[in-house]
Structure 1
Amino acid sequence: MSLKSILNDSSDSLVPGGYREVLKIAIPLVLSTASLTLMLFIDRLFLSWHSQSAVAASTPGGITYFTICSFFLGTAQYVNTLVAQYHGAGDKQSCAKAVWQGIWFSALSAPLILCMIPVGKAVLRWGGHGPELLELEEGFFTLLMLGGMLLPLNAALSSFFSGRGQTNVVMWGNLLANAANAVLDYVFIFGRCGIPELGIYGAGLATALTSGVPTIYWAALFLSRRFAGTHGTRKAYGFDKPMFALLLRFGLPSGMQFFLDVGSFTVFVLLVGRLGEASLAATNIVLSIEMLSFLPMVGMSIATSMLVGAYLGEGSPYLAEKSVRSSMVLALSYSSTLALLYMIFPGVFIEMFRPEHDDQFGAVLAQGILILRLVAIYTVFDTMFIVYNGALRGAGDTKFTMRAQILLAWFFFIPPVYFMIEYLQWGLGIVWFWAVVYVVTLGLVFFYRFRSGYWKTIDMIKR
């Protein structure tokens, strides 16, 4: 079965592994993550208008929540690769079984996510921020964790569609959720429509409430008569021990790698907070801006993973490699453009976050301009890491990605940053320069792993 038939496209111009095929898969996912980027950008923008303390507390609270949930999310998201490989092999029933094993994993994950709330609060307290800022961080974090219980479930359900190339379905689910979130953000943060002004707590409440929007949408489609007939989605709900073991074998290292990646930047942000509120606010603003280049590339990574998995499933490693090359060219074209804008017009981006009647924003602006220019340098290498990571994940090379993340993030990146801040008392610019060195190294390591070709030898589904 060719991927062209999987995509239901009879056009002769849809060259296997070419740019048009990649774009057909990737554009809905990029739009989906772009909508999340816009929603998070609006969220931080509203909070910056509300108060500097609110925007300063949003990133530590938000990134701690996402770090904890990232392990469960990354594991459940591996259903995408399983579905892609089975779909490429023409095994429709196993596609549905893989999704149901992801649902079972999500059910087990939900209570564990709640149990991690005290751990997250301990991490925030370890950050050493002031009592007023810490109170905002903890309240925001707790609300996000309540909605976080649905993250693994959403990942499993959406993987049925993304793994089969129906990425437009994933896009619409995320667009609905993000649009609802943006509206509730405005209402809850500033107190509109009879709702009291909740500030940062309103942002957390909006995110928690809208987490269920895509769940309902994707679940209804997954269980619809159409897919119940073609894939047996209503009959495959049983616990399948071999399939569940397959998910854990490849998904747990993928989830751990995702956790280690996100976790390293969580610790980085918490350590930067020790340099002062202005440094923390500047870092938070720059990371919010950097989402404009980062999150759309996550969509490209998912598309790359799907294409690699599908082509390997049908026994075409050459086309899998060709699709990765096409993805990389497209991704670098986008991220390089934004990197150039970051480098030339950093002040324009930072000024959008200026609160009204805040005489202290000058320090934030100066530091923000410096580190946004540093981010412009690492954006290209971050794109390399994201796309090649998606390719290796689609092939099942997840043990390598986990081990590489352990060594680079937790031996090469975080310990030097801690030493620079705690003992050498170096400033924000040097700390961020080391972050650039880390990301450049990460991109090159994953590039050389992909070039080695080892991933072509992995047979996940025993064709």
Structure 2
Amino acid sequence: MGDPSLNTQDSLVRPGSLRELANVAVPLVLSCGSLSIMHVVDRIFLTWWSTDAVAAALPAGMIQWTAMSIAMGKATYVNTFVAQYEGAGQKQRVSESVWQGLYMALIWGGILLLGIPFAGTFFHWIGHVEAVQKLEVDYFSILCLASGPALVSTVLSCFYTGRSKTMVVMWVNLASVSVNIVLDYWLIFGAGPIPEMGIKGAAIATVLANVCTVIFYAVIIFVNHEAKEYGLFNNCRWNQDLFKRLIRYGFPNGMLYFVDVVGFTLFIVLVGRIGKTELAATTIAFNLNSLAFIPMMGVGTAVMTLVGTRIGERRPQLAVTTTWKAYAVSAAYMLLFAVIYVGLPELLLRPYEPKVVTDEFLEVKKMVIVLLRFAALFSFFDAMAVIFGSAIRGAGDTRFCLYYSLVTGWGIMVIPTFFIWMYSDEKLFYSWAACTSYIGVLGLGYLIRFQAGHWKKMRVIEDHFADPISEDKEHPAQKALT
């Protein structure tokens, strides 16, 4: 049962205030931060296991994420439906939105299993060295089993994030990350009766952690009064109109995920063709950058939620205020990490050092230090892309994000990287320069689109569900404050 005093306190937070943003964003930042730590720990364990394992983990993981990305984008977009219906006071529609997302997650989770038999052929075509190929196939095939649970847990999390109840999501993620890290160590290196499994153990740990996440959400929903309040178990029927709208707005969001992931996956694949050392260095550099970037996704989800809620209330100007506050905080956060990347790279790389430092690792380390300077440069624009992109998608402007990301990603990063791989002598340096340029242009484009204001007139829910609230009028929460 929830604490009524906490609910009352939340309702008295002034809409559009920094405190409201913090209440929603901080648990999500901690939640996403725990996920980034999990990925870093996973890569550290694999670095201790072998250079081949850590080189295989990033391309195999990204290709599995690519296969799941369209469905994940649609599952994540349930958050916007929940937020806008919550803002409009339509609790039944909140529950129906969650159920349509669950049906979609189960369908796609089954479809994604069909990719397992083709893993060997696919990774052979990619052309990484044979030792890495075998590990990529093992890692990818097992990770595919996690697709269904990952999609289901994402939809269930939207029931809470869309209503700004982000503390629940934080605790669930912290619990599942803890499970993952413990299982990661046991299954990679072996413990007691558990044999050493290497990269297979890392993948199995991910699958089991995703299953645990679904179980955690199911238990919380069953014991919490909110399930009854929202009629969660009475609104499980198939709603064709709502499902179509989820696909209509969620599919471009899913394709956006797909386009972004395909672009970065091809980038990784091309870097992998340069050499195993370059691939390992890129893997570690992206892994370290995730310490800054993944928590930013928590702020992005908070912005998407609050913008969606304000759109449901028909008070878009408050959404503008929240978005700019979120960007100011995010830019300062990313600046801090940029300083760390440039000033303390040796400290960041210390956990990756194997027990016996080899010449191969020293070469990887030298490359990573250079790549972190690129990460420092594009981190500011990363914040811009996440915050302003999340704001316009929270209103329903998903098609622009898709088209713009497609054009800039392929035109500035993927195609130039291909020609760099073909003809340049400084392949790694210029490839990362292309990646940095893409992120910069992406961030600036989203900022311009946000400033244009087209998103203020958009909605994903039915128009008749919300009564307009004048920007000049006080919201009930504000009246309570006064």
Q: TM-score range by the shorter chain?
A: over 0.9
Residue 431, structure 1, aligned to residue 431, structure 2: yes
Rounded to whole Å, the distance in 2 between the matches of 1:117 and 1:29 is 32
Q: Structure 1 residues 416-425 or 276-285, which shifts more? A: 416-425
User: In 1, Cα distance between the equivalents of 2:119 and 2:390?
Assistant: 28
Distance 1:122 1:85 in 2: 44
Which amino acid in structure 1 is aligned with residue 206 of structure 2?
Answer: T
State the one-letter code of the partner of 1:390.
S
The answer to whether the Cα contact below 8 Å between 1:346 and 1:373 also exists between their aligned partners in 2 is no
Match of 2:235 in 1: 236
Contact in 1 for aligned 2:412/2:437 (Cα 8 Å): no
Distance 1:270 1:230, change over 3 A: same
Deviates more, 1:348-357 or 1:253-262: 348-357
Q: Paired residue for 2:477? A: none
Assess if the C-alpha contact under 8 Å between 1:307 and 1:320 holds in 2: yes
Distance, in Å, in 1 between the alignment partners of 2:10 and 2:92 is 28
CA offset at residue 121 of structure 1? Answer: 4.8
CA deviations 1:70-100 (Å, max 9, x no partner) are: 1111111111000000000111111000000
> Structure 2 vs 1, CA of residues 250 and 58 (structure 1 numbering), >3 Å: closer, same or farther?
same
Structure 1 match to 2:271: 272
Report deviation, 1:426: 3.2
Residue of structure 1 equivalent to 2:107: 108
8 Å Cα contact 2:87-2:311 kept in structure 1: yes
For normalisation by structure 1, the TM-score amounts to 0.96
Checking the alignment, whether the CA contact within 8 Å between 1:304 and 1:324 is kept in structure 2 is yes
Amino acid at match of 1:447: L
Segment of structure 1 superposing worse, 211-220 or 95-104: 211-220
AA of the residue aligned to 2:225 = R
> What CA deviation, in whole Å up to 9, does each residue of 1:220-267 have, x standing for no partner?
333446134211001111000111011001000001101111121111
Matches within 5 A, 1:150-299: 150-224=149-223, 226-299=225-298
Cross-structure match for 2:401: 401
Q: Which amino acid aligns with 1:207?
A: T
Q: Which amino acid aligns with 2:311?
A: L
Whole-Å Cα distance in 1 between the matches of residues 426 and 350 of structure 2? 26
**Mapping for residues 20-99 of structure 1, pairs under 5 Å:** 20-99=19-98
CA–CA distance in structure 2, aligned partners of residues 305 and 223 of structure 1: 27
Q: Deviations over 1:288-336 (max 9, x none)?
A: 1000011000111110000000011011101011111111111111111
Q: Which letter maps to 1:446? A: Y
Partner in structure 1 of residue 373 of structure 2: 373
User: How many residue pairs are counted as aligned between the two chains?
Assistant: 459
Aligned pair in 2 of structure 1 residues 93, 223: CA closer, same or farther (>3 Å)?
farther
Q: Deviations over 1:133-160 (max 9, x none)?
A: 1000110111111112212211111100
Distance 2:86 2:416 in 1: 44
Instruction: Answer whether contact 1:43 1:182 (CA < 8 A) is retained.
Output: yes
Residue 385 (structure 1) aligned with residue 397 (structure 2): no
Query: Which segment drifts farther, 255-264 or 419-428?
Result: 419-428
Shift of 1:112: 1.1
* 102-111 vs 122-131, greater mean Cα deviation: 122-131
Question: Structure 2: how far apart are the matches of 1:331 and 1:123?
Answer: 38
TM score, norm. by length of structure 2: 0.92
Over 3 Å counting, the alpha-carbon distance change for 1:31 and 1:361 in structure 2 is: same
Structure 1 residue aligned with 2:479: none
Query: Where does the alignment leave 5 or more consecutive residues of structure 2 unmatched?
Result: 464-482
Cα shift readout 1:423-463 (whole Å, capped 9, x = no counterpart): 33432111111111111011111111111100001132133
Q: What CA distance in whole angstroms lies between the structure 2 residues aligned with 1:251 and 1:118?
A: 28
Cα distance change, pair 121–264 in 1 and its aligned pair in 2 (3 A) = farther
Contact 1:6–1:165 under 8 Å retained in 2: no
Query: In 2, distance between residues paired with 1:439 and 1:91?
Result: 38
Contact 1:46 1:186 in 2 (8 A): yes
CA distance in 2, matches of 1:314, 1:23: 20
Aligned AA (1:99): V
Instruction: Return the alpha-carbon distance in structure 1 between the equivalents of residues 327 and 231 of structure 2.
Output: 36
Note if contact 1:6-1:164 (Cα within 8 Å) is conserved in structure 2.
Answer: no
Deviation, 1:6, is: 13
Q: Report the alpha carbon displacement of residue 180 of structure 1 after superposing the two structures with TM.
A: 0.3
Within a 5 Å distance, the mapping from 1:284-363 to structure 2 comes to 284-357=283-356, 358-363=358-363
* 110 and 11 in structure 1: CA distance in 2 versus 1, 3 angstrom threshold: closer
CA distance in 2, matches of 1:38, 1:367: 22
Inter-partner Cα distance in structure 2 for 1:360 and 1:225:
53
Q: Does the CA-based 8 Å contact 1:76-1:156 persist in structure 2?
A: yes
2:361 is aligned with what amino acid?
A: F
2:139 is matched with: 140
- The AA in structure 1 aligned to 2:413 is F
Q: What code does the residue aligned with 1:301 have?
A: G
Instruction: Quote the offset at 1:11 in angstroms.
Output: 7.2
* 3-state SS, counterpart of residue 359 of structure 2: coil
Give yes or no for contact 2:260–2:405 (8 Å, CA) kept in 1: yes
Offset at 1:404?
0.8
**Could you give the per-residue CA deviations for residues 358-415 of structure 1, whole angstroms, max 9, x where no partner exists?**
2221211111111111110001101110111111111000011111111111232101
Cα distance in 1 for partners of 2:262, 2:122 equals: 11
- Specify the code of the residue in structure 1 equivalent to 2:214: T
Letter in 2 for 1:395: A
d(CA) in 2 for partners of 1:330, 1:90: 30
